[in-house]
Amino acid sequence: MGTEATAPVIVFDGVCLLCSRWVRFLLKHDRVARYRFASMQSDSGRALLLAHGLDPDSPLSFLLVEEDRGYTDSDAIARVLLGLDRRRWRWLSRGMLLVPRGLRDPLYRFVARHRYRIFGQSRSCFVPTPEQRGRFMP
């Protein structure tokens, strides 16, 4: 696990139900607490999106910031899965990366564009439990 300052950060849409489910999945399966989280609605999330050339008011993807480099779309998903401590998630990641980005990313963007309609949205951001709170940036 990286230190708090160098740990990979996942910027997600805090009102998107799909995105919140993804964060819950990661909280459950990231047993070594490798990843930190910032909602795109937070000051730190907006700053990270801007720093990596993404519009915080209209992002079509979430952002993974790892070692000061930003990853988006299907590459970000694959890198996050690769970082989990279970073999099955690493295998899934490698399988995803076998599919050309030209096929993966359009599918990812379609889901991202229609995520509210397909999965719904919440009126408020995902709220972590007190035990999880330390993994979330303000």
pLDDT digits (tens, 9 = 90+) for 42-91: 999 999 999 999 998 876 768 999 999 999 999 999 999 999 988 899 99
Confidence of residue 133 (pLDDT cuts 50, 70, 90): very high
pLDDT of residue 85: 82
pLDDT of residue 5: 62
pLDDT of residue 116: 82
Question: DSSP state, 120?
Answer: -
| Amino acid in position 68 | D
3-state secondary structure at position 10:
strand
What's the pTM?
0.87
Q: Pick from 97, 94, 25, 36: which is nearest to 65 by CA?
A: 36
Confidence of residue 2 (pLDDT cuts 50, 70, 90): very low
75 φ/ψ angles, rounded to the nearest 5 degrees: -65, -40
Residue with tokens 């999965």: 119
